[in-house]
Amino acid sequence: MTHATLPPLIDPFARAITYLRISVTDRCDFRCVYCMSEDMKFLPKKDLLTLEELDRMCSAFINMGVEKLRITGGEPLVRRGIMTFFNSMSRHLESGALKELTLTTNGSQLAKYADDLYAAGVRRVNISLDTLDDQKFADITRWGRLKQVLNGIDAAQRAGLRVKINAVALKGFNDVELFDIVEWCASRDMDLTFIEVMPMGDIGNEDRLDQYWPLTDLRDQLATRYQLTDLAERSGGPARYVRLEESGQKIGFITPMTHNFCESCNRVRLTCTGEIYTCLGQEGWQDLRPPLRNHPDDDAPLHDAIRAAIGLKPKGHDFDYSRQDVAGKMSRHMSHTGG
């Protein structure tokens, strides 16, 4: 039973697009070293889609068959008035058109917003957390405080939100914490996904090749202590999962460099300025702001522009670390596309 009121979005490779990740701001209260530079220049406010425009944009995608909406940033919860947007999106959950409304966050604002998010229909959150060490956390986020995030996780779990931790695997940084992070997540009944560091953006002196920790190595290390069982399940994202038999917990691996996960890609990304990127690892994008802003009372041009963009979705990305220089390296920052 589909609730879409318009024909579905099908890309040139016969993949139905049912998952939209939308960045609601490029701003963040942290400055994580692999995501943005310390002195980031943020976009002028007038360039950003208003909350009303974000609603109209997301609603257009939902009317065309998008069933999962993930709100990202920057840090989505630092956007002024953002709960207005979550509350307005909840109508699509109530109608059944939208099956899941979720967000990726650094956790810093969850103590404030967890109950409101649950009330708006959010049931799961992904929290980015790369270390359990106070000093290392301060170093990698530059501005962050670990205690604030841990308080946010407490608040999320109290509110009834299912928490998944996303940790970027960084050689020489959190490799020594592997078992600590795994056991901490198990103790709190939180799923955990490791992400290979990606060659995104020019962020100064951080050399991605030095930090690159292949998840094949991480997995081999886990196997020295746990029995790993591959799971067939997919979450609609790029992760591959294993179960640790001793703890029963589920661990995900997102390996853009060592495993090409594009064949089942069902998602597109929208920036906070209304640019649609149909692949995280390609520069191709279209600007949906003109059809949105030039036709305030007619969604047809917006629908046409969305379809045209999906019609250009590539088969896969170009990331490659194998030659000791980063081929396919992207010039934009992760914070611009929304992770």
Residue 1 lies in a domain: no
- Looking at the 3D structure of the chain, how many domains does it have? 1
The label of the residue with tokens 């050689």 reads 171
Helix, strand or coil for residue 41? coil
Q: Is 58 annotated as a binding residue?
A: no
How confident is the prediction for the chain on average, in pLDDT?
88
Domain membership of residue 13 (yes or no) is no
**H-helix or E-strand spanning residue 151:** helix 146-159
The answer on pLDDT for 329 being more than 80 is: no
- 313 domain-assigned: yes
The answer to whether position 29 is within a domain reads yes
- The domain of 110 spans 19-337
Residue 7 lies in a domain: no
Predicted pLDDT at 334: 52
Residue 269 marked as a ligand binder: yes
Mean per-residue pLDDT, 190-198: 90
- Asked whether residue 9 is assigned to any structural domain, the reply reads no
Residue 34 known to bind ligand = yes
| Residue 242 C-alpha from the chain's centroid | 20
Q: Per the domain annotation, does 57 fall within a domain?
A: yes
Residue 179 has a CB neighbour count (10 Å cut-off) of: 13
Confirm whether residue 268 is marked as ligand binding: yes
Q: Give per-residue pLDDT as tens, 202-236.
A: 444 455 557 889 899 999 999 999 999 999 876 65
Q: What is the CATH number of the domain that holds 101?
A: 3.20.20.70
**Is residue 2 in some structural domain?**
no
Long-range contacts of 114-117 (CB under 8 A, 24+ apart): 114/152, 114/155, 114/156, 114/158, 114/159, 114/161, 115/155, 115/159, 116/83, 116/86, 117/83, 117/86, 117/159, 117/161
Q: pLDDT tens digits, residue range 55-70?
A: 999 999 999 999 999 9
74 is in an annotated binding site: yes
Range with the poorest average pLDDT among 44-53, 146-155, 243-252, 255-264: 255-264
pLDDT at residue 267 is higher than 90: no
Most confident of 109-118, 252-261, 283-292, 314-323: 109-118
pLDDT digits (tens, 9 = 90+) for 122-175: 999 999 999 999 999 999 998 889 999 999 999 999 999 999 999 999 999 999
Structural Rg of the chain based on CA atoms: 19
pLDDT of res. 3:
65
Annotated binding residue 32: yes
Q: Give the pLDDT confidence score for residue 38 in this predicted structure.
A: 80
State yes or no: 264 annotated in a binding site.
no
